[in-house]
Structure formats: structure tokens, C-alpha cells
Amino acid sequence: MKVKLRSYLILAVPAILLGILIGYITANRPTQTSEEDQRFSTSKAVVRTIVEEELIQLGEQQQTFQRLEVEVTDGDFAGKRFVVDYGRTALHPEGQIFKPGDPLLITIETYPDGTLYAYFSDIIRTEPLLWLTVGFIILILLVGREKGLRSLISLAASFAVIFLYILPAILNGSNPVWVSIIGSIAFLSVTQYLIYGWTLKAHTALIGMFLAVVLSTLLASLMLQLTHLTGFGTENALLLAQLGGQTINLKGLLLSGMIIGTLGVLDDLVIGQVSVVFTLVNSNPDLSLQSLINRAMIVGQDHIAATVNTLVLAYVGASLPLLLIFTTFNLPFMLAINREFIIEEIVRTLVGSSGLVLSVPIATFLAAYIAQHAESIQKKAPWLGSQLLASEQDQK
């Protein structure tokens, strides 16, 4: 079926407005920098000459040390040349050395007397990341077409809520849990209605997700209390705690991270389960409520098995270095997992998986009741929209 020009225009307008809003707020956001921060600046540079290169012993490992002459290519120091050391004081990946023409990032320190000193900061990785992002967008549009465009707009809206509301509110001292719940409901609403349309199914799925988020939050809060987690289990948390002028509830931040971490999978799981229930009712309107729930739960159990496995593997994949550290502890198993940075990940995984499991019966019971009363609901409140999702309306 051909996508109408009007549909593209309807989608393009909010996309353009959203892009303008993000750009405006980001460009005009006030920044707070201390005198200490003003001493340092990070700039792009390019290697001009390898001044020195030799093999050195660093701890128990040998690695290549380089002294590089680099030229700054942006910022206030553009055109200036510095000599920076690479590999003298810190280990670097084996075989990762520089040659003339390679780009890199350097940090420039300005001393009180005006003297400048440059340090190697990092490798520039943004160009391949940009190409990967462009390829991802093209792939989504080619395969998903209009629905792919809807999903990209909803993704942009989700990032807008996270970066323009959730993170600034947390940095300003607001309760991370309430901020995350409000922000989550906001971008879940945008996602649901943008992709699936203003329909009874989308309303049902959104209510189901809200209930699942609330229950997951209560479970996570209980587990944080029982396990006495403080939120100080990682280096990133300690760095946040040491930032001057910032009052951040790290325990609440840990809890909000658990909430947001489950939302992506929760979205797909709940809308799938709601769709199953409505499809069963449309194919057999004579099904009793109990029979409808039993049949839908068969599909839901398959969803649970696949999704929980996916979620656990995703957490494990992201935590492989942590697992390696865990295996090196010369401690009994129960003492090893008692470490806060390890138990944080275990609680995160179990809470996220529990929230997904709870969402299936919640969505099933809610959808079963609403689907069986859909006609009367639409007669009383026609403004709630059709029973069909946007994708099903397109097929018709």
C-alpha cells in the first residue's frame, strides 16, 4: 500500500519542531564551570610527527611508548602545536599506536602564568559512529517505511525527554524516582500514540505499562531497602558524588536506572500481549473472560520465556568485565556476590525481569476486560478511537 503524502507531512511537522526544540534548548542551556574547569579544555588534534617511539616496561607489561607532535584543529588553540606523551603512565590496548595524520583528542591545561601543557585524552571515534547512525536510520526507513519513520520520531522524543527533562531535573536535585516515572510515562505515551495511533488498544497498553512500571518501582524500592544498596557501588557514582555543587540522590538514581532499563522491552511485550487479546476477541466474540485470559496467557508465557532470557543476556553482555572481576575473587561464592557493585547488577537484572513477568498478566487481564466491552466503551466514548492499531488500519 502506498504511503500518502499527507501521512509524511503529518509526521514531518512534529519531527522538525522536535528537532528545533532540542537544538534551541541545548544551545541555550546555561553551563556552570568552576575556575578549576576553566583551566582545562579538550580539543581535536592531528598527529604531525612521531618525535620518539620505544618499547617500555609498565608494571608487568611491555608496551610501546610514543612522544607525538600534534596540531590542534579546533577551538581557541587551533593551529597551535604541542608535544604529548602516549603510553608512558597508563596501559593502552596492544597494537594501538599512532602514525602521522591520525586524529585524536588532547586536553590542554592553562597554568596561572599562561603556560600551556597538553595531555593525550582519547581517540576520536565519532566519524565511524556517525556513519553507523546514518546507516541505521536508512535501514529503518527502507524496511519500516512510514512505521520506521514513526519509530525514529518516537526515539527522538524519548531522547528529548531523557536529556531535556530527566537528566536536568535529577541534576537540579529532584527526586530521581519521580522524575523517571513521570518522564517514562511521557515518552511511552509519545511512542504508543505515534507508532500505534489513537486507538483503544494503545490506551490499554499504556495503562498496562503504567501499572507494570509502578509495581516494578515498588519491587525495586523494597529490594534496595532489603539489600542496603547505597548507589555508591560504581566509579561513575563516586565521581558524581564528588562533583562540586551537585546534590544527587544516588540511591534514587540507581532505582530510576532500573526503571528506565526495563521500559524498552516492556513496550514491545505489553503491546504484543494486548494485540493478542483483541485479536482473539475479534476472531471469536463468544469466548468467556476466563477462556480468553487462558488462551492469551499461553502466548504470554512464550513472550515471558523469550523476553526474560533476552533481558538477562543483555545485562550479562554489558557486565562481562564485572563478571571477570567476580571470578577472580578468592572468596566463597556468597561473600563474593555480597559486594555492592556485583549485587547492584544482580538486583537490576532480577527487578527488570520481574517487572516484565508482571506486565504479562496485568496486560492480559486489563486487555481482556476492555476488549470484551470495547463496543459499549466506544459507544459511550467515541473519542477514544478505533479498536485497531495504526498498522492494522493500514492493512485494511
| Residue in this structure with the C-alpha cell 519500516, named with its chain if needed | 144
How many degrees, rounded to 5, is the angle at CA 239 between CA 235 and CA 244? Answer: 170
Full strand arrangement of the beta sheet holding 81-86 = 81-86, 61-72, 40-58, 103-110, 116-123
Question: Domains plus CATH for the chain?
Answer: 35-124 (2.40.50), 145-395 (1.20.1640)
User: What's the pLDDT tens digit per position in 313-327?
Assistant: 766 676 676 667 666
Q: What is the pLDDT along the chain (396 residues), one digit of tens a residue?
A: 444 444 444 444 454 454 445 444 444 444 444 444 567 778 888 888 888 888 887 777 778 888 888 888 887 888 888 888 888 777 777 777 888 888 888 888 888 777 888 888 888 888 888 889 888 888 988 887 777 787 788 788 888 888 888 878 877 777 777 887 888 888 788 777 777 777 888 888 888 888 888 888 888 888 888 877 776 666 666 666 665 445 667 777 777 777 777 776 777 788 888 888 888 888 888 888 888 888 888 888 887 877 777 767 766 676 676 667 666 666 666 666 677 777 777 787 788 788 888 888 998 999 888 888 877 777 777 777 665 554 455 444
Is the entire prediction scored with pTM above 0.85? no
Set of cell numbers at residue 333? 561464592
Which residues have CB under 8 Å from 340's CB, separation 6+?
A: 229, 230, 232, 233
User: What's the pLDDT tens digit per position in 252-311?
Assistant: 777 777 777 777 677 778 888 888 888 888 888 888 888 888 888 888 888 787 777 776
Shortest CA distance to 357 belongs to which of 300, 289, 319? 300
